[in-house]
């Protein structure tokens, strides 16, 4: 009878390890069969739980003791806890040493073995326990796999059985949690067979009086960090593109609010293609594709440039009896796309206009909303008056009787043309003077 019991225990004492992890889903990876050794009185045996999250690693040693009459409180379990009967026994669990960088705590230091379903086709529940631990996972880490020292591969049968039905239990790894973008604590429920952890001894049927155990069995939880993607910015002919943004696949990216600059152009958002044929994005909008991308600045030729030309002449030089002085001003040049533009303004001075403190009357010609580029402005024809001086020039350079304006680097530019009356025996009041050279 005793031999049959021992034989049954030998066949059935295979470790099953099932985890109900509230946060992550695992895949099982098997390693080679662990070595067995004669039990002896060595107290240097542990069940080891390893947790790896990148460079942060923990290796925590557990010890299990039983209150069975066939065991002692001061050493490792020396026999199957259910040996001599199927009554559940108290198992005392402790963390005895190791490196604990994940703030792991033991939630259930005392548990009972499961009932030995001796009348069922499979036995072994008397050495099966379930306990819980809690530990901290860094942000953005998810489980990659579980690696365990598989002493249970010594036999072909599974190692644990339902305490009510005696049905075989398979290894299961389930989760109801989701990925977290912040550090969080995970509660893990662990079900295992004490004999195959090395915490309890078993008898070799070929040498009935000898007790064996597996030494320093371990479980390793490997976690992979969530993959990242990068949003890069290309100024596409401009400058001052925002810095690239890195984010995790679980998170959308709010695009930078910063805008690049380009002389003579107006920024018109981002596009996934340099020529603007891709998908448009605005600054501060949400990028949700979670794959690396380069966004290219889109530009429009600025057409908000203004040139202000003031005509200035002493009122005392004007003979209003022959009509109001009339000025024809031309603005011509090329925009940054090399398109030619030509504009004209006709301005006149009326007798009812007031002179300033120096006796000058001023009239304004305004060239509005011209494209960014380079332009020359001149007075091409004036009745009886010629330009004597050009002053107060902003955003341009005076070249003789013409002003060359840089309307790429300037949004608003201006200049003042000062006139004088040259009526003489060579000119009548009705003559027009060509001021261009």
> In this predicted model, what pLDDT tens digit does every residue of 359-397 receive, in sequence order?
999 999 999 999 999 999 999 877 678 899 999 999 999
Instruction: Tell me the residue length of the chain.
Output: 437
- Does residue 49 contact residue 225 with C-beta atoms inside 8 Å? no
pLDDT reported for residue 293? 97
> In this predicted model, what pLDDT tens digit does every residue of 21-41 receive, in sequence order?
333 333 333 333 344 454 444
Distance of CA 1 to the CA centre of its chain: 66
Task: Provide the pLDDT confidence category of residue 278 given band limits of 50, 70 and 90.
Answer: very high
Cβ count near 346 (within 10 Å): 10
Q: What is the distance between the alpha carbons of residues 414 and 40, in angstroms, rounded to a whole number?
A: 102
Range from 98-102, 302-306, 410-414, 426-430 carrying the lowest mean pLDDT:
426-430
- Does residue 109 contact residue 64 with C-beta atoms inside 8 Å? no
CA distances from 146 to 16, 57, 368 (A): 13, 14, 72
Q: What is the distance between the alpha carbons of residues 215 and 223, in angstroms, rounded to a whole number?
A: 25
Burial profile 16-27: b = 16 or more Cβ within 10 angstroms, e = fewer: bbbbbbebbebe
> In this predicted model, what pLDDT tens digit does every residue of 284-310 receive, in sequence order?
999 999 899 999 999 999 999 999 999
pLDDT reported for residue 277? 97
Beta bridge partners of residue 383, listed in sequence order: 432
| Strand 207-214 relative to strand 202-204, pairing | antiparallel
**Cβ neighbours of residue 300 closer than 8 Å, sequence gap 6 or more:** 265, 266, 268
**Cβ neighbours of residue 281 closer than 8 Å, sequence gap 6 or more:** 255, 269, 270, 271, 272, 287, 295
Average pLDDT over the chain, rounded to whole?
76
- Does residue 241 contact residue 234 with C-beta atoms inside 8 Å? yes
Could you tell me where the beta strands, DSSP code E, fall in 9-46? 18-21, 28-30, 36-38
Place of tokens 């030995």: 116
CA-based end-to-end distance of the chain: 127
Give the helix, strand, coil percentages of the chain, each rounded to 5: 5, 50, 45
C-alpha closest to that of 423 among 310, 318, 316: 318
* SS3 labels along 208-259: EEEEEEECCCEEEEEEEECCEEEEEEECCCCECCCCCEEEECCCCEECCCCC
Q: What is the distance between the alpha carbons of residues 152 and 171, in angstroms, rounded to a whole number?
A: 12
| Greatest mean pLDDT range, 62-71, 78-87, 228-237 | 228-237
pLDDT reported for residue 144? 63
**Cβ neighbours of residue 100 closer than 8 Å, sequence gap 6 or more:** 58, 60
pLDDT at 330 over 90: yes
> Which DSSP string do the residues of 32-75 spell out, in sequence order?
PPPPEEE-TT-----EEEEEEETTEEEEEEEEEEE--TTS-SSS
Q: Which domains does the chain have, with CATH numbers?
A: 2-225 (no CATH), 231-301 (2.60.40), 305-433 (2.60.40)
C-alpha closest to that of 12 among 146, 147, 117, 93: 117
pLDDT at 20 over 70: no
Cβ count near 4 (within 10 Å): 8
Q: What is the distance between the alpha carbons of residues 24 and 230, in angstroms, rounded to a whole number?
A: 25
Q: What is the distance between the alpha carbons of residues 325 and 322, in angstroms, rounded to a whole number?
A: 9
- Does residue 249 contact residue 292 with C-beta atoms inside 8 Å? no
The number of C-alpha atoms within 13 Å of 25 and in the hemisphere containing its C-beta is 6
pLDDT reported for residue 149? 62
Q: What is the distance between the alpha carbons of residues 111 and 357, in angstroms, rounded to a whole number?
A: 104
Q: What is the distance between the alpha carbons of residues 167 and 141, in angstroms, rounded to a whole number?
A: 35
> Which DSSP string do the residues of 387-401 spell out, in sequence order?
EEEEEEEESEEEETT
Q: φ and ψ at 199, to 5 degrees?
A: -80, -25
pLDDT reported for residue 171? 42
pLDDT at 18 over 50: no
């Amino acid at each position: 009878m005793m031999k049959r019991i021992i034989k049954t225990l030998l066949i059935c004492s295979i470790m099953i390890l099932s985890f109900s992890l509230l946060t992550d889903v695992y895949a099982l990876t098997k390693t080679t069969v662990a070595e067995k050794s004669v039990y002896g009185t060595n107290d240097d045996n542990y069940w080891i739980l390893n947790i790896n999250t990148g460079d942060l690693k923990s290796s925590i040693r557990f010890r299990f003791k039983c209150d069975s009459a066939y065991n002692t409180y001061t050493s490792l379990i020396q026999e199957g806890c259910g040996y001599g009967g199927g009554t559940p026994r108290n198992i005392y669990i402790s963390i005895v040493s190791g490196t604990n960088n994940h703030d792991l705590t033991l939630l259930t230091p005392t548990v009972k073995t499961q009932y030995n379903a001796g009348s069922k086709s499979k036995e072994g529940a008397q050495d099966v326990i379930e306990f819980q631990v809690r530990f901290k996972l860094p942000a953005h880490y998810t489980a990659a796999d579980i690696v365990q020292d598989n002493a249970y591969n010594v036999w072909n049968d599974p190692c644990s059985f339902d305490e009510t039905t005696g049905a075989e239990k398979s290894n299961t790894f389930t989760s109801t949690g989701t990925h977290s973008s912040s550090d969080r604590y995970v509660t893990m429920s662990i079900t295992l067979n004490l004999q195959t952890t090395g915490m309890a001894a078993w008898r070799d049927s070929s040498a009935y009086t000898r007790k064996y155990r597996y030494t320093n069995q371990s479980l390793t939880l490997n976690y992979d960090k969530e993959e990242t993607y990068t949003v890069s910015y290309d100024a596409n002919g401009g400058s001052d593109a925002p810095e690239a943004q890195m984010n995790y696949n679980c998170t959308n990216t709010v695009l930078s609010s910063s805008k690049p600059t380009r002389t003579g152009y107006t920024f018109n958002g981002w596009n996934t293609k340099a020529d603007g044929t891709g998908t448009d994005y605005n600054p501060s909008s949400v990028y949700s594709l979670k794959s690396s991308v380069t966004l290219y600045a889109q530009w429009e030729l600025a057409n908000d440039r203004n040139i202000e030309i003031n005509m200035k002449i002493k009122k005392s030089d004007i003979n209003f009896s022959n009509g109001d002085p009339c000025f024809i001003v031309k603005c011509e040049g090329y925009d940054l796309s090399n398109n030619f533009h030509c504009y004209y303004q006709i301005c006149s001075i009326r007798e009812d206009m007031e002179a300033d403190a120096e006796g000058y009357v001023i009239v304004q010609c305004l060239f509005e909303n011209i494209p960014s580029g380079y332009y020359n402005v001149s007075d091409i024809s004036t009745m009886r008056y010629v330009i004597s001086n050009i002053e107060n020039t902003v955003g341009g350079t005076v070249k003789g009787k013409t002003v060359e304006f840089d309307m790429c680097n300037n949004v608003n530019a201006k200049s003042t043309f000062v006139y004088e009356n040259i009526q003489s025996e060579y000119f009548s009041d009705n003559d027009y003077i060509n001021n261009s050279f």
